[in-house]
Amino acid sequence: MHVRLRLDGRHPRRWHRDLVRRLGAAADTTVEVEFAASGPSALPGNAETLFTLERLIFGLPARAASAPLTASERAGLPAVTGRAPDLILDFAGDLAGNLAGNLAGNPDGAADPRTWHLRYDGQDGEAGLLASLLAGRAPWATVSEGGRAVASARLGTEMQGRVATAFDDGLAHTVTLILAALKDAPGAGPSGARPPAAPVPDLSPGALARRGGRMLAQSIVQRLYRLCFRAPHWRVGWRHLDGPGVVDLQGHPPSGWATLRDDGHRFYADPFPLAHGGTTWLFVEEFPHATQKGVISAVAMGRDGPVGTPRPVLEEAHHLSYPFVFARDGAIWMVPESSAAGTIDLYRATAFPEGWEKVATLVQGVVASDATLLEQEGRWWLFATVRDAPVGAPLGLGSYSDALHLWSAPDFRGPWTPHARNPVLIDIASARPAGAIVRRATGGLVRPVQDCTDGYGRALGLARIDRLDDGGFGQTVETVLRAGPEWPGSRLHTLNSGGGFEFIDGSARAPRLP
C-alpha cells in the first residue's frame, strides 16, 4: 500500500513524523508527504499562547507530540514521488470526500484514491481536538471515509484539565488509532453516544487573560492542598461477601464498606484477595509517600477484618502495583504491574505469603498497566492497557489508560502471542482493567474496567464481554459505579472478591498534620 499524508504546510508536527516513521516500518507500506498551502483544520490563533501559559503556571513537561518540526526534520520527511497513492490521509482538511483525482502523482484516468479524514467530536483535525478539550470532554476521534466511520476512539489523558498535555496525549494516540484502522478491522470501537461538536473556543487576548487568572488560582489552591495533605492518597474498602456481589447488584451493597486503615504516611490500593490454607489473604499495593515507590504487601483477613496491618512481601527496584494473584498447578502465582520496567512479569510464591521469585517475563518492551489474566476454554488471555511510548517517556506521549491490548497463550507461563488487532479497543472510559474478570453464575464474563473520562480512577465500570477470539474483542458496559454516599470520596478504581470477602478502593485524604 502506498500512503500519502496531506498536511497543512504551516504546522507539521512531531506526531506527523512519528506516524510517517511507523507507517514506513509496516510491511508492504510506503509513505510520502504532501504539504497543502493551508487547511481549515489548523489551530485557532493564540492556541500556542494558551499552551505556554499552562506550562509556565503548572510546570508541565515540554511539548511532545504537538511540537513543531524543525526545518531539517521537515526536510527529512519523504516527498511526493509521482506514484499514485492507494490511500490519502487528509490532515490538511481541504479535500472533499474522495475527489482527489487531480492531486499531484495521480495520473489522468486513474481511479481516485481512498481518502480518510480525521475528526474530533465531528470537527476537523487539531482544531476539533482543542475545542473538545477546552469544553472539558474526553474527545471522540474518528477516522472516516466518504462519511463512513472507519475507526473511532475515546481518547484520554492522565493530566485531566491540563489542555496542553491532554492535547499532546490525544495526538499521540491518534497515531495509534490510525495504525489500528489500517489493519482493516480495528474493532467495534468504544460504545456510547457521541457528543455534538464543541463550540469554537474563544482565545482572544481577554479570554486568555481570564483563563490564565483561573489557572493561576487553581495552581495556588493545588499547592496549598499539597501543603496540607499527602496526595494522591487511596484507601481500600472491604466487606463480608455473604450475598450478592457488586457485579450481581450492579451497584454498591446496602451493608456498605469498612476501610483498611493506614497511618497517613502510606496508602493501600489495588486489593486482590486469595484464599489459601484456610485463611483469606489480601494483597495490595503499598505506597509510602516518603519513597514514592510502590511495593506489594499482604495482610490476613479474619472474622472482624484485617489481622494487623499489611506488611511488604515483594519489592523491586522499580514501582510495583496491581498484584494479580492466583493459584494454579499446586502453586501460588502473581503478575504485579511493572510498567516502570517495561515488562509484564510472572512471580511464584516460595514461602507464602512473604517469599516470591520471578520465574518468567511474559511480555517485554511494553509500558503495560494492570495486566489481568483469564483462562477461557483451555486458553489463557492477558488484558492490559498499553502506552504507545517508550519506558520513561514524558507525559504527552499518550495515555496509560485508553488503549486495550490482548495476548493469548496455551499456558499462563507462555509463550504469549499479541492479538492481531491490537489495540482491540481505544476508550478512556472502558479500556483499563480494574480487577479480575468475573464469571457470572448464569454464564458470561464481566470485566471490571476503569472509567477515567473525568480523570484517572474516577469511576468503575462493569463491562460484559461479548466477543473474545482471534478475530476481535467486544464488550458492553452495563453499569458505572461512582463514589458517593455508599463510598465517600471522589474516586472508585478497583473491584475484586474471594475468600468470603469483597474489596474496592478509592480516594482518601491524608492530612500532613494530625
Per-residue pLDDT of the chain (514 residues), as tens digits, is: 999 999 988 889 999 999 999 999 988 899 999 998 766 667 888 999 999 999 999 998 888 899 999 999 999 999 999 899 999 999 987 775 444 444 444 554 456 789 999 999 989 889 999 999 999 999 999 999 988 999 999 999 988 889 999 999 999 999 999 999 988 655 557 877 788 888 888 899 999 999 999 999 999 999 999 999 998 999 999 999 989 999 999 999 988 899 999 999 999 999 999 999 999 999 999 999 999 999 999 999 999 999 999 999 999 999 999 999 999 999 999 999 999 999 999 999 999 999 999 999 999 999 999 999 999 999 999 999 999 888 878 777 889 999 999 999 999 999 999 999 999 999 999 999 999 999 998 889 999 999 999 999 999 999 999 999 999 999 999 999 999 988 988 899 999 999 999 999 999 888 887 6
pLDDT of residue 98: 40
Rounded Cα distance between 269 and 493, Å, is: 9
Rounded Cα distance between 366 and 307, Å, is: 37
pLDDT of residue 319: 96
Angle ∠(260,262,266) on CA atoms, nearest 5: 130
Rounded Cα distance between 164 and 153, Å, is: 20
Angle ∠(122,88,474) on CA atoms, nearest 5: 55
CB 175 within 8 A of CB 169: no
pLDDT of residue 512: 86
H-state helical runs in 229-254: 246-249
Beta bridge partners, 464, equal 446, 476
Owner of C-alpha cell 454464564: 443
* Domain residue extents for the chain: 2-218, 230-239+249-507
Q: What DSSP string runs through 366-402?
A: -EEEEEEEEEETTEEEEEEEEESS-TTPPTTS--SSS
Retrieve residue 175's grid coordinates: 497515531
pLDDT of residue 9: 87
- Give backbone dihedrals phi and psi of 358, rounded to 5 degrees, phi first: -75, 125
pLDDT of residue 186: 52
pLDDT of residue 201: 87
Q: Does domain 230-239+249-507 have CATH number 2.115.10.20?
A: yes
Residues with Cβ within 8 Å of 82's Cβ and at least 6 positions away in sequence, in order, are 104, 105
Owner of C-alpha cell 509510602: 288
Give the predicted TM-score (pTM) of the model. Answer: 0.93
Rounded Cα distance between 219 and 308, Å, is: 39
Owner of C-alpha cell 494516540: 173
pLDDT of residue 99: 44
* Other Cβ atoms within 10 Å of 465 Cβ, number: 18
CB 497 within 8 A of CB 245: yes
Retrieve residue 145's grid coordinates: 471515509
Q: What DSSP string runs through 438-461?
A: EE-TTS-EEEEEEE-TTSTT-EEE
